[in-house]
Amino acid sequence: MDKFTVHTGTAVPLRRSNVDTDQIIPAVYLKRITRTGFEDGLFNAWRTNEPDFVLNRPAFAGATILVAGPDFGTGSSREHAVWALHDYGFKAVISPRFADIFRGNSLKAGLLTVELAEKIVQRLWDDIEDDPAIQVTVDLVERQVRWSGEVHDFDLDDYSRWRLLEGLDDIGLTLRHVDDVAAYEQARPAWKPTAISTAS
Amino acid sequence: MGKTLAEKLWESHVVRSAVGEPDLIYIDMHLVHEVTSPQAFEGLRLAGRPVHRPDLTLATEDHNTPTDYTLPLIGTSSIKDEVSRTQIEALRSNCAEFGVTIYPMGDAEQGIVHVIGPQLGITQPGMTIVCGDSHTSTHGAFGALAFGIGTSQVEHVLATQTLPLDRPKTMAVTVNGELAPGVTPKDVILAVIAKTGTGGGQGYMVEYRGSTFEAMSMEGRMTVCNMSIEWGARAGMIAPDQTTFDYVQGRDHAPKGADWDAAVEAWTQLRTDDDAEFDAEISLDAADITPFVTWGTNPGQGAPLSDIVPFPSLIEDESERVAAEKALQYMGLEAGTPLREIAVQTVFVGSCTNGRIEDLRAAAAVIEGHKVADGVRMLVVPGSVRVRKQAEEEGLDKVFIAAGADWRQAGCSMCLGMNPDQLAPGERSASTSNRNFEGRQGKGGRTHLVSPLVAAATAITGHLASPADI
């Protein structure tokens, strides 16, 4: 996983709530077996059908921070949604509230999800619509979002922050505790089911 | 202070706990399908890691599989789309390479991943069950802690049989009383979601409690728990009882003999203690729930069938108002239209929400002796090969075919646009599935979520209807 410390870039205002993962990347793009190259699927229906869609506007080309309404990433567990945002070039997503699975997937893939109050998100929307060139800084070290003199703290638990700052892989961390896993397995009831076929 | 069911399930699976770190949780069963697993297996291969417990890992093919009854389902030649076929073939070769049991298309045990676990008896009370699929919450109906995970976590479970997780809060959803005739578990959960909104369960493990859930069959409980994710809940569960034990007993993977007695004794402890406290509680009265349908583009945008398409201008919250305006535009609906007057072109009965035998029986009972309305196509898609065979033994297939419906093979089918069963742009459906998102059933498709009873009645009348309207 890529490390995340401090990122500064321009931002895109996505003034929509309940952006579900079917909108972030439609199911038809999930058939691939690769881990990269999902940028063409990102918001595909909106990019195709809505000439005015914010990602179609040249003023926001090259932006690396997505600023969305509440309940971003609801629905399907598809991690492809995170990969599509990442592959398109986004480093961070700001929203008043994220769906749990999406948020977990993002933090595992090095895409920082930042929760800010709805009022602050609206102010950020207004500011970047007035001037799309505004530089927005997402600072994981200080747990702050800064732009044009505005400074807002955000919450992220210490453990997730540490993993992102160090770019650590969860599996490697868990494998340090294989003895604990073995001990747990020893104590599991023998009648717990397995997937081994019972057909003779 | 006592403990909730969710807390008991959590604590009995903690492998390791340390201050300032997530708990390391043991996973009793990992279900795998073709869509969210290829990159996880690839990750194992690149790191030279084996699957830690192939015996606790079960794979099947469901999202991409065609359901046309005339197709031969052995091999992969029936999958016309090359990318879909490659994904199915990747799952088969990954399972062979890593020693994972798989029920491929054409196998007597194949089906939607959340239908086959319970029917095999692999889904049991007291377990932790995960799958790279958000509807894994379905298995919570057995008193299990079950939730969807992303592909990075799929790889983590394959490699370690554990997940590092922060413990969610707990919530009780209590519904008491008897459901009126024609009101189903699907209506109950749609009413819950309309009350809470799509984010209302965010961060919670939810326990459904009260006499309404206790009176439900296991199929009904699975429908309720299945849609927990549609209001943002991390997991949904119902305490196991005699109904649960009776469903599990005798199934292929159920404990036998003395093991059965030991299991039931353990499962009987899986109840929220009387003095336990939930972090949040909501309640509904069963008597207030009527057949429920959605009008918008998220599962929280629903209303009783007797209601009208809402006026967005009357919605106070700004972001909800904007969302409603946008939804009506996408759905091609005018505010104030009675929901009963909405005409559909397609009716879909199936999915991990409502593709079980009880759902097919309910739909067949309504449609028997009637015809699917002119200009309407009706797809009936069993959730698994076993469900299909049982329905055929009971003659349900003949009832549907006589009515003019299309009887199909098992799979996810029209729940999502990954296989040939899709809506055309602008086409409107009444669907027993779980998501009415824009484009979910095919690009430009318009979805109304309904119960199997409403689906069948709608097929007969050609517009949203309940059996009482016939």
Please answer whether residues B194 and B106 qualify as being in contact, where contact means their C-beta atoms are separated by less than 8 angstroms. Answer: no
As a whole number of angstroms, the distance between CA B426 and CA B38 comes to 33
Q: Which residues of B touch A108 (CB under 8 A)?
A: 150, 152-153
Q: Give the nearest chain A residue to B108 (CA atoms).
A: A199
Q: Which of A16, A79, A177 to mutate to test the interface with B (most CBs of B within 10 A)?
A: A79
Q: How do residues A34-68 score in pLDDT, each as one tens digit?
A: 989 999 999 999 999 999 999 999 999 999 999 99
* Pairwise CA distance, residues B192 & B173, whole Å: 8
Distance in Å, alpha carbon of B454 to nearest chain A alpha carbon: 24
Chain A residue with the nearest C-alpha to that of B326? A16
Please give, rounded to a whole number of angstroms, the shortest distance from the CA of B153 to a CA of chain A: 8
Whether the pLDDT of residue B71 is over 90: the answer is no
The percent of residues above 90 in pLDDT, for chain B, comes to 96
pLDDT at B210 over 90: yes
- Tokens 């979910």, located at residue: B440
Select the residue from A86, A126, A171 to test the B interface by mutation, using most B Cβ atoms within 10 A: A171
- Chain A neighbors of B36, CB-CB under 8 A: 30, 77-79
> Cβ separation of B58 and A34 shorter than 8 Å?
no
Mutant choice from A76, A111, A125, A169 vs B, greatest count of B C-beta within 10 A: A76
Q: Which residues does chain A have within 8 Å of residue B151's beta carbon, measured at their own beta carbons? A: 79-80, 105
The partner residue sitting opposite B150, judged by closest CB among A30, A45, A104, is A104
Q: Are B224 and B352 within 8 A, CB to CB? A: no
Find the closest chain B residue to A76 by CA distance: B134
What pLDDT, on a 0 to 100 scale, did the predictor assign at position A2?
A: 78
Residues of chain A contacting residue B122, judged by C-beta atoms under 8 Å apart: 193, 195
List phi, psi (to 5°) of B262.
-65, -40
Q: How confident is the model at residue B228 (pLDDT cuts 50, 70, 90)?
A: very high
First to last CA, chain A: 44
Report helix, strand and coil shares of chain B as percent, to nearest 5.
Answer: 40, 20, 45
CA neighbor of B232 nearest in space, from A125, A93, A99? A99
Q: How far is CA A200 from the centre of its chain?
A: 46
Distance CA B93, CA B418 (A): 21
The whole-number average pLDDT for the span A7-28 is: 96
Is residue A54 within 8 A of residue A13, CB to CB? The reply is: yes
Q: What is the pTM of this model?
A: 0.96
The Cα B292–Cα B186 span in angstroms is 8
| Beta carbons within 10 angstroms of residue B21's beta carbon | 15
Instruction: Select from A32, A100, A156 the residue whose CB has the most chain B CBs within 10 Å, as the one to mutate to test that interface.
Output: A100
Contact A99 B132 (CB under 8 A): no
Range with lowest mean pLDDT among A181-185, B66-70, B367-371? B66-70
Report how far residue B157's alpha carbon sits from residue B159's, in angstroms, rounded to the nearest whole number: 5
Please report the pLDDT score of residue A169 as a whole number: 87
Distance from CA of B229 to the nearest CA of A (A): 7
Furthest C-alpha separation in chain B? 64
Start-end of H helices in B287-335 = 318-331
Taking contacts as CB-CB distances below 8 angstroms, the residues of chain B near A27 are 63, 416-418, 440
Residue B177 pLDDT greater than 70, yes or no: yes
Question: Is the predicted pLDDT of residue A200 greater than 90, yes or no?
Answer: no
Q: Which uninterrupted H or E stretch holds B244?
A: helix B242-248
- Residue B72: its pLDDT value, please? 82
- B16-45 residue pLDDT tens: 999 999 999 999 999 999 999 999 999 999
Q: What is the pLDDT of residues B293-340, one digit of tens each?
A: 999 999 999 999 999 999 999 999 888 999 999 999 999 999 999 999
Interchain pair A33, B160: CB under 8 A: no
